[in-house]
Structure 1
């Protein structure tokens, strides 16, 4: 133990003495004189204080709760990455998610942290035209929100539905993959071949084979995905496979994009005659992203609009609630929707076979002073979904919020109000229930 402590002390002493190797405001170390080779470490923490109106029947450790208040860590992450040779890039991310007092409430709360990413990438061309990479990675198709840079998001949370298989056949949206990505002229592209995890290893009991489609527990197939952007103005960041939520006025971005993913025989269901039917999982999205300075007083606008066609097979539906503050329900199969995922707490139908329109917009208020200290940015977001399983009932979710940037994304406070739907079952018919609200205060620290 003494040798470990001595090693850390030696490392930090050398780091502090080598002032020319450290870039201002970043834990970034030059590996050559020019800085083209480097290694960088970042840390991020998103702490939430939240009040939630519970779904009908919600219980917390056996006690019925109409409302909950919880404190938790939505995300705690460490990134280690760098351009270690002129052509070779390496990236690791370690951390945990959704850690509140109810996390693993019946088992071991200490098992949360895990590797999110571990990849190596080789730059084939002299510029960014072609990079080949592989490992555990979020590099994906479908949408920019399928591979979001969570330290730069505009809203308090990302639209998780765009991470279509999260914690089902992936590891928190990451898969073992090989990929090609690059920027050629005004085009930005990525093509991915993934080896998904079996749904039986996600820590939950898979639903029994039924007339409703679910992820198949027999068989295995690879997944292909692709994403293509046309960039009208500035190029997007290209250091890692992650995509920025907002550049806070540092770039002039206007893009249109199309993406998709396909996996044969990923889903299964049972026919009326009892036969097992396998179906492909296939998703397509078309989107546009705007993020640029406006006016003359250091203000900026960020806006997004996307259409998603998500196909998980016959009537697939999955509930999900971010960092769910509850543990159970008093409802039964006769008076609630049977689906993937828990229906209690703050959960709502987040994933399903159907169509989704997602939009968000934010505006950084004008300021007489430059920089990102003491700046305000209100935002609004809407998710308008129509899932086959709900027989025409919409799943519309709305968010209103405001970010207060103490120092850009390095230190910010966010206040968010979400209004979401609930559903009930009466005489075997699904009907709309009350609309429910959640208020979240987030503190983000990022270095």
Structure 2
């Protein structure tokens, strides 16, 4: 061995020895059964988050969260539904409603960064049975949010200015929900008014300002909507019923004001609103919001007779989430809101979350609307909607220490749309088994909804009956 090789070998040996001794425990040796440490270390408190502090006080930090919502879904299909070409009255499916990763942090007194990455509605249909591209099941994940925010006032939320891809939204608290903390099994999706039409799963490229001044929580935004041609679905057809415009490009303006009577709500993640605090906060809010966009919609009554219309949406609502008995851990959650939804003359769109049916046999339902298979119902339309929910959190450790508790709930969406001949009512009843709060919970939910048939000789539709759906969800969140 030459001199150089000997020198390298000796240096490596010294480094290895130093590293080995540095890793040795400081407690006495326990090599023999009789040996015990001089003192037994106290068990550390269990952490409930993945957070890395960037300074000693923890005011500057970076954090990651992970969410997975698995669904077992049994659905009574709308008439004429098929599952991969075979007519099916019922369908059972297994899927992932949401799988998300959040990464965010306060990098300095004035700089905040937020990312969210994940996928949604992943079942055996892989996001679209009729898609022609190969390997559809492998292209579901995408960036939901990518936002940079500047806090104008140090350590104060009076004014935060942000820009990027974001869910900051003007219509209501449920237009930008924190899906890991919702009380019901699913959010009222109609409140995400343009979801996957002119946005990316409710997110838009936006410039916004938000903040909290006294009891007032506010957010205002100007958004750059995506053209309907890029949403991955077949283009809507021109006709007397309003559709999203295929020509032109205008900006969207929105704002939401909330008056917080008691505790201030969390204001960290841009735009997101907590579903329930499980009695940890005393919250009562009144809110009002709007979204408006010039010439967002279009209809054609006759050849050469094209009319562009504005999209105007607004809502007013109240939200209550507060403890009843802090000693027992019981709490209430309630929401009641009115939504005015003007998408232009006779606009109507069907939707069904995690739809378990792939198509509909139009021969069995002459003149049937596209997209009405499975569990779909007229979720979005020009008209008005009343939405309400109520839940009751039972006492802490209902099943014994560390074994969790229950939170039953009811929710209702009642709508009057121009193209629907009667009032639409969708009703859910369910119960959460909170194994470890929102970090680990099972939710059993039953939904009763109407299905619809075209009315002969008109553009309206009428109810043909009702169908049910039963879902078991398992959520894991950290």
Instruction: Tell me the TM-score normalized by structure 1.
Output: 0.92
SS of equivalent residue, structure 2 residue 115: strand
Indicate the residue corresponding to 1:163 in structure 2.
192
Cα deviation, residue 144, structure 1: 0.2
Indicate the residue corresponding to 1:53 in structure 2.
76
In 1, Cα distance between equivalents of 2:403 and 2:321: 19
Equivalent in 153, 156, 180 of residue 125 of structure 1: 153
Is 1:320 the equivalent of 2:351? yes
Closer, same or farther: CA 80–367 of 1 in aligned 2, 3 Å = closer
Larger radius of gyration: 2
The answer to whether the Cα contact below 8 Å between 2:279 and 2:330 also exists between their aligned partners in 1 is yes
Equivalent in 111, 128, 138 of residue 139 of structure 2: 111
Indicate the residue corresponding to 1:150 in structure 2.
179
Equivalent in 414, 420, 432 of residue 384 of structure 1: 414
In 2, Cα distance between equivalents of 1:376 and 1:46: 18
Indicate the residue corresponding to 1:66 in structure 2.
89
In 2, Cα distance between equivalents of 1:275 and 1:336: 24
Cα deviation, residue 297, structure 1: 1.8
Equivalent in 187, 208, 211 of residue 216 of structure 2: 187
| 427-436 or 177-186, which deviates more | 427-436
**1:138-158 per-position Cα deviation (integer Å, ceiling 9, x unaligned):** 001010000000000010000
How do 1:15-414 residues align onto structure 2 when only pairs under 5 Å count? Answer: 24-103=47-126, 104-106=128-130, 107=133, 108-126=136-154, 127-240=156-269, 241-272=271-302, 274-295=304-325, 296-331=327-362, 335-338=366-369, 342-367=371-396, 374-391=404-421, 393-414=422-443
How many matched pairs?
Answer: 424
In 2, Cα distance between equivalents of 1:160 and 1:367: 30
Structure 2 spans left out of the alignment, 5+ residues: 1-44
The answer to whether the Cα contact below 8 Å between 2:396 and 2:404 also exists between their aligned partners in 1 is no
In 1, Cα distance between equivalents of 2:365 and 2:324: 54
Cα deviation, residue 415, structure 1: 0.1
In 2, Cα distance between equivalents of 1:409 and 1:368: 14
SS of equivalent residue, structure 1 residue 389: coil
**1:261-292 per-position Cα deviation (integer Å, ceiling 9, x unaligned):** 00000000013464110000010000000000
Structure 1 spans left out of the alignment, 5+ residues: 1-21
The answer to whether the Cα contact below 8 Å between 1:23 and 1:29 also exists between their aligned partners in 2 is no
**1:338-386 per-position Cα deviation (integer Å, ceiling 9, x unaligned):** 3xx6110110000000000000000001246799851100000000001
The answer to whether the Cα contact below 8 Å between 2:362 and 2:368 also exists between their aligned partners in 1 is no
The answer to whether the Cα contact below 8 Å between 2:397 and 2:405 also exists between their aligned partners in 1 is no
The answer to whether the Cα contact below 8 Å between 1:259 and 1:284 also exists between their aligned partners in 2 is yes
**1:206-248 per-position Cα deviation (integer Å, ceiling 9, x unaligned):** 1121110000010000000000000000001000120000111
Cα deviation, residue 333, structure 1: 10
Indicate the residue corresponding to 1:19 in structure 2.
none
How do 1:408-423 residues align onto structure 2 when only pairs under 5 Å count? Answer: 408-423=437-452
Cα deviation, residue 205, structure 1: 1.5
The answer to whether the Cα contact below 8 Å between 2:397 and 2:403 also exists between their aligned partners in 1 is no
In 2, Cα distance between equivalents of 1:204 and 1:23: 46
Closer, same or farther: CA 197–332 of 1 in aligned 2, 3 Å = farther
In 2, Cα distance between equivalents of 1:117 and 1:178: 13
Instruction: Tell me the TM-score normalized by structure 2.
Output: 0.86
SS of equivalent residue, structure 1 residue 421: strand
Cα deviation, residue 337, structure 1: 4.4
Cα deviation, residue 324, structure 1: 0.9
**1:174-216 per-position Cα deviation (integer Å, ceiling 9, x unaligned):** 0000100000010000001000000000001111211100000
In 1, Cα distance between equivalents of 2:151 and 2:46: 24
In 1, Cα distance between equivalents of 2:275 and 2:217: 16
In 1, Cα distance between equivalents of 2:152 and 2:401: 37
